[in-house]
């Protein structure tokens, strides 16, 4: 189990800008697109598709514990080889996610890099997806959730804690400490009230197309609100 997906030397960076993935860096839900891609390729049954879409519905309207929902979404991966998951993630990225990156997101990344900052994905999404997006955008690193594997096959269970809610806080603090960077200098871009624990600890919180609950919180705390197309 690793907290950090990839190891990079961030020595000399002025600060770190963290970005959520789904509905922030991309105007889409990567998990849902992976499910649909797997079904279209015959990699999952109709019943598993229905279960996954139902969990997605519960997550969207917060009708059940979000971490349990995300863990449940991992179950359809049981028995899939690591290579198949990697290939599926690459295909979904090329066909869907690449075209779902707002120009405003690209601008913010360039702006931070021009200021000699590190740019890092901090997301509950799976590592192959985060790796594809981070690589395309030439980001410095990605911190995310991992699927447990055994002998090259997915078990359908998360490897360690899902990178969500308070776990994001722990990983951000750990990452800043490891790279000698201050949390109060960090930026975090998020879209949902579930990002509140992270937004409240960084020095520069940014709410991107925030949901209704996050809009209220953002206005109350005078946080930046960006509306990206």
**Domain limits, the chain:** 16-226
Distance CA 189, CA 162 (A): 19
Of the pLDDT bands very low, low, confident and very high (cuts 50, 70, 90), residue 1 is very low
Q: For residue range 145-181, what is the model confidence (pLDDT) as tens digits?
A: 999 999 999 999 999 999 999 999 999 999 999 999 9
User: What's the CATH number for 16-226?
Assistant: 3.40.50.1000
In angstroms, the CA 90 to CA 113 distance is 25
- pLDDT bracket for residue 3 (50, 70, 90): very low
User: Which are the contacts of 111, defined by CB distance < 8 A and separation ≥ 6?
Assistant: none
Closest CA to 168 of 200, 203, 195, 206: 195
**What does the alpha-carbon distance between residue 181 and residue 80 come to, in Å, rounded to a whole number?**
38
The pLDDT tens digits of the residues spanning 7-50 come to 567 989 999 999 999 999 999 999 999 999 999 999 998 898 89
**pLDDT at res. 6:** 45
Average pLDDT over residues 204-209: 98
Q: Give the Å distances, CA to CA, from 126 to 3, 10, 72, 164.
A: 13, 23, 13, 12
């Amino acid at each position: 189990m690793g907290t950090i997906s990839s190891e990079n030397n961030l020595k000399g960076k002025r600060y770190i800008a963290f970005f959520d993935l789904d509905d922030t860096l991309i105007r889409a839900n990567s998990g849902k697109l992976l499910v649909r891609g797997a079904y279209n390729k015959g990699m999952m049954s109709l019943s598993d598709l229905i279960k996954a879409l139902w969990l997605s519905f519960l997550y969207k309207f917060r009708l059940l514990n979000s971490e349990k929902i995300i863990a449940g979404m991992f179950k359809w991966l049981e028995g899939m080889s690591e290579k198949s998951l990697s290939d599926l993630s690459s295909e979904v990225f090329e066909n869907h996610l690449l075209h779902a990156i707002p120009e405003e997101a690209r601008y913010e990344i360039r702006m931070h890099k021009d200021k000699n900052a590190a740019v890092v994905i901090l997301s509950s999404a799976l590592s192959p997806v985060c790796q594809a997006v981070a690589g395309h955008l030439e980001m410095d690193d990605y911190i995310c959730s991992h699927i447990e594997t055994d002998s090259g096959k997915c078990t359908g269970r998360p490897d360690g804690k899902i990178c969500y809610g308070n776990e994001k806080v722990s990983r951000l603090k750990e990452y800043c400490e490891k790279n000698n960077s201050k949390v109060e200098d960090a930026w975090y871009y998020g879209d949902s009230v579930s990002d509140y624990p992270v937004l409240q600890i960084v020095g520069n919180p940014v709410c991107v197309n925030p949901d209704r609950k996050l809009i209220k919180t953002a206005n109350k705390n005078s946080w930046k609100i960006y509306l990206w197309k």
